[in-house]
Amino acid sequence: MEASRKPLAKVEGRKRMRFSGLTVAWRGTPSLDDWVAYIVTGTKSKKLILAAHTSERTVKGILARIEGMSKREVEKLAKG
């Protein structure tokens, strides 16, 4: 008989950057390298991705780094 396992917990969050006015969202699973951070826009088809398939530490570092950037600098950093 197989033991049933609990599904891994997903973590999600959103933060509005004060200087640029952009809203950045992130999600992932703790202790796995499946985190993604992206700029929230009006449409689902056009997401500017800041980081994909990275660790939680990398995503949090990017969020801290873009806090003081302008909108143009953040969009240049993102992959379209």
- Are the C-beta atoms of 53 and 61 separated by less than 8 Å? no
**80 pLDDT higher than 60:** no
- Domain membership flag for residue 2: no
- Domain membership flag for residue 5: no
Q: Quote the number of domains for the chain.
A: 1
- Are the C-beta atoms of 38 and 77 separated by less than 8 Å? no
Q: Which residues contact 67 (CB under 8 A, 6 or more apart)?
A: 17, 18, 19
- Domain membership flag for residue 3: no
- pLDDT value of position 53: 94
- Domain membership flag for residue 73: yes
- pLDDT value of position 1: 56
Domain of 41 in residue numbering reads as 11-77
pLDDT tens per residue, range 6-57? 778 899 999 999 999 999 999 999 989 999 999 997 666 677 899 999 999 9
